[in-house]
Amino acid sequence: MAAVKKNKSNKPPRIGIVASSFNDFITKRLLQACLLELKLAGVNQVTTVWVPGAFEAPLAALALARRKDIDGVICLGAVLRGETYHFDVVANEAGRGIMEVSLRTGKPVMMGILTADTGSQAEGRSKPKGGSNKGRDCARAVLEMIALLKNL
């Protein structure tokens, strides 16, 4: 991970997190790892909001990203494949919406919404300690992107 540079006011970055209540058994694991990673990086201002599901994440991310007291946003959740096309719609539109928020606001918005065929696969990408955790990865990525954008 690249070193995180402090902003002009010499304060650590301020982060917004959008967490999906749907499949919260996964989201909570992602959130816990994300918050720990941010704390280890010296981030002490985190605003967390909960939304019903992944489809609603982009709207909440946009509201957070528009705030002057937020430097970057992380979206966390899990969409698990079911028997219908619904999975594809929710996963694709959540991803598209999150990217659109980033491009519209010029702030990094991380896609930490897992898309998995099974709960077991999602658990594998949200391990509480060691191993893979997309929440931790998103914390690192948002801090790296904040530093990068400040230097461009």
pLDDT tens digit string along 73-92?
999 999 999 888 899 999 99
State which H helix or E strand residue 114 sits in. Answer: strand 109-116
Residue 139: what residue type? A
Range 31-53 average pLDDT:
97
Token digits of residue 146: 């904040």
Phi, psi (deg, nearest 5) at residue 50: -105, 135
Point out the residues that are catalytic: 86
pTM, two decimals, is 0.92
Taking domain 15-151, whether its CATH number is 3.40.50.960 is answered by yes
Q: Sketch the domain layout of the chain as residue ranges.
A: 15-151
Range 21-32 average pLDDT:
97
Give the residue among 72, 52, 33 at the shortest CA–CA distance from 150. 72
8 Å CB contact between 54 and 90? yes
